[in-house]
Amino acid sequence: MKLYHYVHCPFCIRVRMGLGLLNQSFDSLVLAYNDEKTPIALTGKKMLPILVDDSGTARNESLDILKALDKTKCLNWELLDQHLAEVETLINKIGSPVHSLCMPYWIWTPEFNDESRLYFQTKKEVKRGPFKNLIHQKESFITELESILNTELEGNLHPFYKSSTLTIIDIMIAAHLWGMYIFPEFQFTETLHLYLQRVRALTHFDYHQDFWK
């Protein structure tokens, strides 16, 4: 199997975590953000993650990829079905401040070069405004994120989200939060840090593995 992904992308991290949990080996292919040709040739869209299975079928949509891989249904998809609207709202609420805080930092990791950095920044600034302004507003994004984590996440961890065992919902939450580990002015509470580290250990996730091959 081949996984085409971006290191920072939360949807790609979902698939990397799922593959790790399921002990599925795969070729990890990190694409440059400005590479439009490769994803379009595979699926017709410029969107990652893309998983190409052993039969050569290319698939996107992180949850569809994971559902197809999880043959034994160990990720408890019923729990997601039961809480779908609530989880989607939570992920969107987390994603908004996380993306505003992390995008200006992600572009300075080894994943990007001058061309892909300019491509990413130009594209993302259309929706979010100048990265410079995002950094100037960082305190208010941090306050927004902390309030969501405090009121809508921590109390639901038992020790996983509404569950005593890891489910697809934990992979979705952890993948979206992982980027905050690179943000210098932010610190997870001990409860959340331990939760994320539990997900990391069970999924054998190594955020930076592709930078150090």
- Contact call for residue 200 and ligand GSH (CB under 6 A): no
> 162: which DSSP letter?
T
- The residue within the footprint of ligand GSH, chosen from 4, 20, 62, 66 (CB under 6 A), is 62
CB contact set of 1 (below 8 Å; sequence gap of 6+): 19, 24, 25, 26, 27, 51, 52, 53, 54
Angle between helices 84-106 and 168-177 (to 10 degrees): 30
Q: Closest separation between CB of residue 46 and ligand GSH, Å?
A: 5
Strands 27-30 and 58-60: unpaired
- Contact call for residue 179 and ligand GSH (CB under 6 A): no
> Residue 58 corresponds to which amino acid?
A
Q: Closest separation between CB of residue 28 and ligand GSH, Å?
A: 16
CB under 6 A: which stretch of 16-24, 41-49, 151-159, 179-187 binds ligand GSH? 41-49
Instruction: Give the count of residues interacting with ligand GSH (CB under 6 A).
Output: 12
- Contact call for residue 40 and ligand GSH (CB under 6 A): no
Task: State the Cα torsion 99-104-108-114 to the nearest 10°.
Answer: 110
- Contact call for residue 51 and ligand GSH (CB under 6 A): no
Q: Closest separation between CB of residue 10 and ligand GSH, Å?
A: 6
Q: Which residues contact ligand GSH by CB under 6 A?
A: 6, 9, 11, 46-49, 60-63, 123
